[in-house]
Amino acid sequence: MNPLTYLTLAASGVIFVLVADSLAVSAVAWGLCALVALFFSTPRRPFLAANLLGLPAFIGFGLMYAPFGQEPGWWIITRDGLQIALSLGSRFLAATTIGLTIGSFVNLDQLMRTVQPRLPAKLVYVVGATARLLPLARARWLTIQQVRASRGVDVSPLGAKCRMILPLIVGMVDDAATRARPLQRTGIGEPGPRTVLRPVPDTALDWAVRLLAIAALVVGCWWAVH
């Protein structure tokens, strides 16, 4: 599917979970994401990452709300405070899980090619460069490690890793300067519409799925607030 379709599904799911403010809705959303991660390999790591992010959120909400309710419970934990903490924690977990799990299907290259004719070229480049910053930094970090290890340097101690930070920063700055020259020659700053050599298909099915997702979001939010 078109990457905009996955983004629409992810955004619709996140908004509905936040608006619904229901423990049952959050649990169902988390369960659906778990099924997706079970049958597809791509979202498994993002699903695990979302759950790891949800754990400190549950702890934080529990510390902030559980002891300060009005209904006595067990020890210093109050019933209404614990209910609020569980509600907030489950919403955060479900929203994060939906965003990371469904968003993991988005191909960055296809997304950039999809939005290139629709958004200003400079904005598309900034978004694409920001999204690629972490993979580029990771690849250069591994290269620096391999070069030092080939010279017989032990790269496992913390001090050795700290000494690799400066070459990493210098390398990233040099890469940015190297990319800037061909960008200027391609006329990235020139006004006017852009064309894509290999456009990403945006089929009628994609449009139908996006419209259905938005319609379901509107109906679901209306049901939640009523």
* pLDDT one-digit tens code per residue, 107-149: 888 888 888 777 777 777 777 777 777 778 888 888 888 888 8
Rg (C-alpha) for the chain, rounded Å, is 23
- pLDDT for position 16: 92
Which residues are CB-contacts of 84 (< 8 A; sequence separation ≥ 6)? 61, 65, 69
Give the per-residue pLDDT at 80.
74
pTM above 0.85, yes or no: no
Q: How far is CA 216 from the centre of its chain?
A: 22
| Residue numbers of the chain with a pLDDT score lower than 50 | none
Per-residue pLDDT of 142-173, as tens digits, reads 888 888 888 887 878 888 888 888 888 888 88
Contact partners, residue 109, CB within 8 Å, separation at least 6: none
Residue 73 sits at φ, ψ, to 5 deg, of -130, -115
Residues 6+ apart with CB under 8 A from 34: 47
